[in-house]
Amino acid sequence: MRLPNEFVARMRTLLGAEADLFFQSYDQKHTYGLRINPLKYNINSAQNDLPFTLTSVKWASEGFYAMAEEHPGRHPLHEGGAYYIQEPSAMSVTSLLDPKPDDKVCDLCAAPGGKSTHIAGRLCGKGLLVSNEISPSRAKILSQNIERLGIGNCIVCNEPPDKIAGHFPLFFDKIVVDAPCSGEGMFRKDENAISEWSAEHIDLCKERQKMILNCADQMLSPGGIMVYSTCTFAPEEDEQMIAWFLQTHPDYTVEDWREILPENCNLDSGNPEFLSKTGSIDTSITALIPNTLRIWPHKVQGEGHFAARLRKKGNKNMDKDILKLSSQQSTPTGKKQPKRVQGKKADLSEYAIFSEQFLRIRPKKQQDTYSITNRLANSNSYQYFGDELYLIPSQINSLDGLKVIRAGLHLGTRKKNRFEPAHALAMALHPEDTVQSLECTTDEAIQYLKGDVINCNTKLKSWVLVCYQGISLGWGKANNGILKNHYPKGLRIRG
């Protein structure tokens, strides 16, 4: 692998005696992993039940090293959202954020969805997740991954950071800024990152990161947590960026990653010596740099990563007038939204008939935190976008003025005298949530994912939840022992 000469020279200066070990790591394969989705699969049984060679990732309870040659991304369980393919070092970011159920969380630079889906799993179907991506094409991929993993409490937006910040002032408990960066930590994984690298690109990324951090600060409530992360080694985007932020935002401190993540992971800390080119830095700021996290590919089984857990001073009980104002949410001018009907005003008659016929409310003894049908039964946060019905997270007061790709859980489409359930609803359900489900063999699951019809019990009529190993794959419509395929055409596998 041929690395840029300027990059090589800089890394030798930064690493000194460790440089040779660092460059030797580029002769090894990049790390590959998967992260279990607890909304749909049991983490504790993954190593025994999944047909792959898995080794635990120490800093992420849901994470495992996997073998790319076993192709876990082509398995029916992947299509069913049982897990997400993710590089192991990247799993450290959400672990460092440590989201809890009922938190209001924003993933500000969210595509393709690795951090967002990890956060959603930690939220356990509760609280609120707002996942934003400025690129329309990448926002679409993000939305597809949110749907595939059966996440129902997520709003996916396609806006620049300042637009999101204007809509949610002082609103979130926790924020992830996985900032666009020069990508040096991905050189081993993606050779395109090498060809795109330049010192000028680092400078461009640095200015963009400052803008994004300023926007994130506007959205974070007093006492809140922000995790800033990159997949680069450049101090300008890592230690020096944190020093700049602390200088310009004195109401923040850096919490020690070692108090959040497990010990003995061979993870490293940020280096205060990497601040040498930034001019005069207050000694109190320099002392906080070792609290930041660095992952080096020659020290752990993982690609390069940097992260810092930043806490904003104050608490939720302070500045009540400001927080009250933020909860009302500003509604900046934007693209006109489709006419919506909310709550009790929504005509839910078609959906109510479908729900009564095909969805089952679990008995209390069978209820768990992930049961979507119980949340559907106990919510009045239904909204129509045209004829598309969504279950909106209750913490959202308004989406006016925002370009929204996914407004919570898409339940389905209101049609003349009937309701057609959405694929997203199927992916959020478990077999016990439905009146009718069909457990497929491996061959039948593949056949279904290709878009073919499959045979079923003649007793099944109309809408059926198609499942594989207890994981929902989508809808089918049964008639006379034949299940008509309703798996979305754009998702169907080939071959």
Q: What SS3 class is residue 369?
A: coil
Residue with tokens 């049609």: 415
User: CA-CA distance, 225 to 472, in Å (whole number)?
Assistant: 34
The answer to whether 205 touches 185, Cβ cutoff 8 Å, is no
Q: Which of 173, 284, 266 is nearest to 220 (CA)?
A: 173
Residue with tokens 């595939």: 148
The one catalytic residue in 106, 205, 215, 231 is 231
Q: What SS3 class is residue 63?
A: strand
Q: Which of 179, 272, 271 is nearest to 226 (CA)?
A: 179
Burial class (CB in 10 A: 0-12, 13-18, 19+), 2: exposed
Q: Which of 192, 197, 165 is nearest to 181 (CA)?
A: 197
The residue type at 374: N
Question: What own/partner pairs with CB < 8 Å and gap ≥ 24 does 443-451 have?
Answer: 445/76, 445/473, 446/76, 446/493, 448/473, 448/474, 448/476, 448/483, 448/485, 448/487, 449/76, 449/79, 449/473, 449/487, 449/491, 449/492, 449/493, 450/492, 450/493, 450/494, 451/485, 451/487, 451/489, 451/492
CA distances from 333 to 134, 210, 400, 402 (A): 17, 25, 8, 8
Measured at the alpha carbon of residue 226, what is the angle toward residues 221 and 232, in degrees to the nearest 5?
155
Contacts of 349 (CB under 8 A, 6+ apart): none
Residue 264, token pair as written in the block: 């003995």
Contacts of 476 (CB under 8 A, 6+ apart): 438, 448, 454, 456, 463, 464, 466, 483, 484, 485, 486
Q: Which of 221, 212, 279, 276 is nearest to 245 (CA)?
A: 212
Length of the chain: 495
- Region of 125 (left: φ > 0; alpha: ψ -120 to 50; beta: rest) is left
Half-sphere exposure of 120 (CA within 13 A, CB side): 35
Residue 35, token pair as written in the block: 């992260």
Half-sphere exposure of 8 (CA within 13 A, CB side): 9
Is 231 known to be catalytic? yes
The answer to whether 152 touches 125, Cβ cutoff 8 Å, is yes
CA distances from 120 to 38, 149, 477 (A): 9, 9, 30
Task: Report the catalytic residues.
Answer: 231
